Structure 1
Amino acid sequence: MHAAMSYASTVTEHLPASVYPIAGVDTSITAFVGRALRGPVDEPVSIASFTQFERLFGGLWEHSALGYAVRDFFLNGGSKAVIVRLYRAPDPIDGVVRSHAIVRAGALTLQARDPGTWGNALQVRVDHELLTGDPDSFNLSVRDSATGHVEVFRNVSLGAGHPRRVDLVLRSISRLVTMSGKLPAGRPDSHPRAPQQGDAWECGAASNSGVMDADRAVEELPLTLADFIGKGNLARKSGLYALDRADLFNLLCIPPYLDNGGDLLDAGVHSALLAEAGAYCELRRAMLLVDPPPEWDSVDNAVEGVAALGTSSRNAALFFPRLRQPVDQRGGRPTRLAPCGAVAGIIARTDQQRGVWKAPVGMDATLIGVPELSVPVSDSENGMLNPLGINCLRSMASAGRIVWGARTLHGDDPDGAQGKCIPVRRTALYIEESLVRGTRWVMCEPNDDQLWAQIRQSIHAFMVGLFRQGAFQGKTPHDAFFVRCGPETTTQDDIDHGVVNITVGFAPLKAGQFVLVHVQQAAGQVRSH
């Protein structure tokens, strides 16, 4: 420790060109995994607003809690989200799974790009108003009548060698349809022109083609545990593991999805999924935000049920109780909804205003758009729940609904505050992720004293920046953090195997009491623990 402290006390203002600056990563990108009305399946899609979610995934839907969680995330201060839509196909009808709607224009058969009943609103128009006399070319227009969105593809062709062959154009550009089956032998007939004072899309089947009854998609089935973590999902990167294709996320929300014959907005999450999601977040250096089970309609039920929740990961945090919000799709009737999205938004808001090291709690951590909570929690009840790792949402006369707890679900913790305190754990994850990404340049460098000195200088400059922002306790960098990378962390055996080990300590709560972060770079592959 003394050797590390000797160089941790010197502030480097101007780094030599050989030292690589380390940039801090984002801290509040929130991943949502679940059911949506429309959109690509098993594919992480980054969005920056709820309007974008409405356009790509269909917005609020009373058969899924996901849309409401995403809405509350952006409403409460979130700015970046990753959406993974899961889809469970309907049962076969006459041996056919009708998951995608089909719309036809003569012999040209188009299929909704993504599964779901949203495709039943598709319409198509063809016209031959071309500048050339090519007998294989035509103009194709596709409309989603539910949203009014129209895509127009001019001068597409059925010619096998044509640069705008219709199937290739649709595959690469269209968000609504792809072509199904083989190219027709001849181009589809033109639809009649719109009346002089009318809209061709609103003039019935004569002016456009819609989805026929026999081609309509059937309602999808509610999700099950297997849709998230079933056999083969990891290898296919589907379900929860579709997030393997997301570069970075910091918070994970799995809104309730279980169909227990009740309300899908006020449903549950399987304990096995919470266990796997907690472990997955540890691998991805993220935090899982856990919603209280639907049966927790009292403080006593919460006390009795927390042990059976499914996870006690230091990368998981539970917030209780559920929210009560009016749902327009149900005539404004107040409905219990999961708090994970709103809490994630407050965390993002706090990160932006104060930093990842600030606990997202207190009078400033107000829940926007939440008129009431499903269970009132008193001071004494909060004092009973908090030591169990249950973070309470409370109503305060002076502030409204607020977050009033910042503990993880980790119980007996040999690491002390690192595993029990949300801001400490998130700060450690932030530093680790930033260092893992910011020291990748070492993979091609000789593993010697010069490299170790460069690493120390780069990380020291990064940590000084955090110290100046108030991330650590201590009056000087010497008291607030240390950086070790040298013969005390990297043995001769490590050198022989091309491994360099880095240890960083920071003081989140008290000067001189350090939480440790370990990073290992090896032979071009980054591994951390």
Structure 2
Amino acid sequence: MPVTVNYPGVYIEEIPSGVRTITGVATSIAAFVGWAPQGAVGSATLVQSWMDFTREFGSMDSRSLLGYSVYQFFANGGTQAYVIRIVGAGSVAASVTLSGVLTASANSPGLWGSAYGIKIKNLATPGRFQLQVYSLPPTPAPPVLVESFENLSMSSSDSRYVQAIVNNGSSYVTATVIGVNPNPPADTATPSPLTGGADGTILAPASTSSMPAGAFETAVLPGSGVGVDLLEHVDLFNLLCVPGEADPATLSTLEGFCHDHRAMLIADCYQDATFKSLQTSQGPPTQITAGDNAANAAFYFPWISAPDPLMSNQPGSFPPCGFMAGIYARTDSNRGVWKAPAGTEASLTGVLGVSQPLNDIENGTLNPAAVNCIRNFSVYGTVVWGARTLQGNDQMGSEWKYIPVRRMALYIEESLYRALKWVVFEPNDNPLWSEIRLNVGAFMQNLFRQGAFQGMTPQDAYFVKCDNETTTQNDINLGIVNIAVGFAPLKPAEFVVIQIQQMAGQIAT
């Protein structure tokens, strides 16, 4: 603002430059939804490594594909993922009531809570006690102390109120006081085990063509309040994986959810899908290829053969979505979101091969139908050999045919959506339009310098327009400012044609 002058001398006035740097958003934050034996229910939990997942959700479980897929995501280059645990009917948290005045319960439902116990020790100070949480391994191994809470009180007005301290500090249990300010529970010589925990109904996705949609799909779909709905409370996710889910109606709904959130759905094929079945159906089911939402999904075939750690590393069959989410993340980190997550660089880690090997002719039949094939090559190993969205069928002629083109557009959209919030309620005239052009243009220029667009010059690669042509007086009267941003996307070299010609010998004359 202008400096107020009142005495002879020199005054300093700082003038805003109008520069508001636009930072690109993350592009490979995955979201996984599935059944797990333990872990938080009712929220999406951020995990940044496989160890984070095991601490929260209890590692792999042979009854669920979720743990395997998250492991495969991190093994192939993934760095961040949100995990949503769904549970079935009859899932109950284990608990124990101590002296009728304090109930300790596992902080999430499942049989896992029965492996823990609570030990109480009253202190010399009246009304104060110690609560310890023990892991109870199979006998004859002794209990292992995992948490200890000191100097607790049963009074709700005390700063060391047991219910507040334990519920906010424990990774395993919650505490509930019975009655009003009762005396502390009696000492326990050994940990009192939590009992009554149950896993309930194991929810499994419709992973084969003979399995109908059921309770799993009901829990996952929008509207349930416990599945993908929980991602509404997440700041950003880019990739959605529901390991093993192949029901067309369910995938179609998830496509719409991803479209609304500027994310990509990585869709698995049926476990029993074959080249013949996909050839007969002319690619993926029409339910998931029709409509605009199909641009926000990619379909992969076949399932992957990989060592199963729970079966002494014997070969097991796993859905491709976890591997592919990791490949997306690795490609984004190494090359950029504009590079197709396919080709010889997109080799899968920790695999034995594919469940159904394909040759060039079979690949050539499925690729034009928007089926992204995963293949074995003698030199490169198991690699992703397709980069099309579910709108990638040649007959559709969609502008969103290729995954990197669609993901690049989503990246630009999300980055500008977040970075231009400052524009709201600014005076809608030339100075504002100039600032918008300056900042959006700088963002697009930076992408151009990284090689994200076609073209040898910025004029060939992108444009940013915001002036009295895009925003008319009527728009101004309605409170609208229009910003036009265009870019020339890089499309993958899907077919390489080599022309060889024999040179005729020259005859001396």
- TM value normalised by structure 2: 0.85
Whole-angstrom CA distance in 1 between matches of 2:357 and 2:399? 30
RMSD of the TM alignment (CA)? 2.2
Compared CA separation, residues 415 and 467, structure 1 to 2 (3 A)? farther
User: For 1:319, what is the secondary structure of its paired residue?
Assistant: strand
One-letter amino acid of the counterpart of residue 65, structure 1: L
- Determine the structure 1 residue equivalent to 2:334: 353
Matches within 5 A, 1:183-198: 183=179, 185-192=182-189
Whole-angstrom CA distance in 2 between matches of 1:125 and 1:442? 58
- Determine the structure 2 residue equivalent to 1:270: 247
Matches within 5 A, 1:442-481: 442-481=423-462
One-letter amino acid of the counterpart of residue 324, structure 1: S
Whole-angstrom CA distance in 2 between matches of 1:210 and 1:77? 40
Whole-angstrom CA distance in 2 between matches of 1:143 and 1:487? 69
Compared CA separation, residues 418 and 427, structure 1 to 2 (3 A)? farther
- Determine the structure 1 residue equivalent to 2:314: 333
Matches within 5 A, 1:13-412: 17-90=17-90, 99-107=92-100, 108-130=102-124, 133-134=125-126, 136-145=127-136, 150-180=146-176, 182-183=178-179, 185-192=182-189, 207-212=190-195, 215-222=196-203, 223-229=215-221, 232-233=223-224, 236=225, 238-256=226-244, 268-296=245-273, 298-305=274-281, 306-308=283-285, 310-312=287-289, 313-411=294-392
User: For 1:55, what is the secondary structure of its paired residue?
Assistant: helix
Identity %: 42
Whole-angstrom CA distance in 2 between matches of 1:334 and 1:412? 33
Shift of 1:363: 1.1
Greater Cα shift, 413-422 or 57-66:
413-422
Compared CA separation, residues 218 and 86, structure 1 to 2 (3 A)? closer
Deviations 1:127-160 (A, max 9, x none): 1245xx12x2200011343696712111111123
Shift of 1:180: 3.8
Whole-angstrom CA distance in 1 between matches of 2:286 and 2:193? 48
Shift of 1:400: 0.6
Whole-angstrom CA distance in 2 between matches of 1:167 and 1:309? 54
Whole-angstrom CA distance in 1 between matches of 2:201 and 2:178? 27
Structure 1 ranges of 4+ moved more than 6 A: 412-415
Whole-angstrom CA distance in 2 between matches of 1:415 and 1:482? 27
Deviations 1:395-452 (A, max 9, x none): 0100110111100001569995641100010000001100101111001201112111
- Determine the structure 2 residue equivalent to 1:526: none
User: For 1:167, what is the secondary structure of its paired residue?
Assistant: helix
Whole-angstrom CA distance in 2 between matches of 1:369 and 1:314? 29
User: For 2:400, what is the secondary structure of its paired residue?
Assistant: helix
User: For 2:481, what is the secondary structure of its paired residue?
Assistant: strand
One-letter amino acid of the counterpart of residue 149, structure 2: F
Which one has the largest radius of gyration? 2
- Determine the structure 1 residue equivalent to 2:413: 432
> Which ranges of structure 2 fall in alignment gaps of 5 or more residues?
1-14, 138-142, 204-214, 492-509
State the structure with bigger RCO (CA 8 A, min sep 6), 1 or 2.
1
Shift of 1:41: 1.0
Whole-angstrom CA distance in 2 between matches of 1:372 and 1:479? 42
Shift of 1:174: 1.6
Whole-angstrom CA distance in 2 between matches of 1:497 and 1:370? 57
Whole-angstrom CA distance in 1 between matches of 2:33 and 2:79? 17
One-letter amino acid of the counterpart of residue 421, structure 2: R
- Determine the structure 2 residue equivalent to 1:501: 482
- Determine the structure 2 residue equivalent to 1:12: none
User: For 2:295, what is the secondary structure of its paired residue?
Assistant: coil
Whole-angstrom CA distance in 1 between matches of 2:269 and 2:136? 38
- Determine the structure 2 residue equivalent to 1:525: none
One-letter amino acid of the counterpart of residue 434, structure 1: S
Whole-angstrom CA distance in 2 between matches of 1:141 and 1:379? 62
Whole-angstrom CA distance in 1 between matches of 2:279 and 2:135? 49
Whole-angstrom CA distance in 2 between matches of 1:336 and 1:382? 20
One-letter amino acid of the counterpart of residue 104, structure 1: T
One-letter amino acid of the counterpart of residue 133, structure 2: V
Whole-angstrom CA distance in 2 between matches of 1:101 and 1:89? 15
User: For 1:501, what is the secondary structure of its paired residue?
Assistant: coil
Question: Any conservation in 2 of the 1:105–1:125 contact (CA below 8 Å)?
Answer: no
Q: How many positions carry a matched residue from both structures?
A: 454
